[in-house]
Amino acid sequence: MSTATITPPAAVRGARSEGRIGLRANLRHISALVRRNALQIKQDPESMFDALLMPIIFTLLFVYVFGGAISGKGHQAAYVNYVVPGLMAMMGMNIAQAVGTGINDDFKKGVMDRFRTMPIARSSVLIAKIVVEIGRMLVATAILLGMGFALGMTVHTDVLHLLAAVVLSLVFGASLMWIFILLGLTMKTAQSVQGVAMLVLMPLQFGSSIFAPTTTMPGWLQSFTDVNPLSNLADASRALVNGGAVAHSVWMTLAWAIGITAVTAPLAVMRFRKKA
């Protein structure tokens, strides 16, 4: 009596083999998915408009709308050194939002159905998304700094401190991406992801030291800005560029980044595995 051999479907084989995927194979998968996401941007260059135009528009808008009111008429150049390092924090948060809508859209288009048939680690799909968005964030930050220098920004420390401010912004921005990935995996539509994201973004951005010193704010709002991670990041970037006490704000920013990642990354991967 012969015994029939039943070959499990590809999805089952992929799920079974995921736990046995080694680090080298996982890195190959991430690299392949990064190339796939980068090719998507090449085929749809309009997806880079936010990274290319947002730094220019925001820098001009805030320097010439708020600069005179805060630093005095005709002294907008002094405000540039204040606001540009703060905008580095804002760039990261706004670009991080795109990860959530992108993940949600991939599920709607059936892209994830193809991934689930492949013997790849589910986390590699999410990590590849984050790597590409970090690249977009780096482009936006470079354009922001270019605008700042064009408007008269001066680095009062050195290039290494400036690079440290950029790296700190990228690290914190990457941690925020896990929040938006979790939102993208939880909400039903990309529009709902954007709506919830705006409810998070607006209080954090404007209830911070990004655009103006917090000394004129009411006491209850100052208490919020003191613990607001965007304030810590803006203050750290500002100190790294302009000089001043930097240790506390840098360590607070890193603590927020580690804490956000430690909480939301496992939840996002778990949600992705259940959904994919």
Interval 69-105: pLDDT, tens: 776 666 677 789 999 998 988 888 888 888 888 888 8
Mean pLDDT value of segment 100-113: 77
pLDDT at 45 over 90: no
Asked whether residue 9 is domain-assigned, the answer is no
Asked whether residue 255 is domain-assigned, the answer is yes
pLDDT at 118 over 80: no
Asked whether residue 4 is domain-assigned, the answer is no
DSSP string for 192-217: HHHHHHHHHHHHHHHSSSSSS-GGGS
Asked whether residue 205 is domain-assigned, the answer is yes
Asked if residue 217 lies in contact with residue 94, where contact means CB atoms within 8 angstroms, the answer is no
Asked whether residue 239 is domain-assigned, the answer is yes
Residue 116 sits in which domain range? 21-275
Asked whether residue 61 is domain-assigned, the answer is yes
Phi-psi region for residue 85, left (φ > 0), alpha (ψ -120 to 50) or beta? alpha
Asked whether residue 156 is domain-assigned, the answer is yes
Looking at the 3D structure of the chain, how many domains does it have?
A: 1
Asked if residue 97 lies in contact with residue 196, where contact means CB atoms within 8 angstroms, the answer is no
Q: Own/partner pairs for 26-29, CB < 8 Å, 24+ apart?
A: 26/121, 26/123, 26/124, 29/120, 29/121, 29/124, 29/128
pLDDT at 5 over 50: no
Asked if residue 48 lies in contact with residue 136, where contact means CB atoms within 8 angstroms, the answer is yes
Mean pLDDT value of segment 16-41: 72
Asked whether residue 212 is domain-assigned, the answer is yes
Task: With CA atoms as reference, report the closest residue to 173 among 74, 91, 58, 67.
Answer: 91
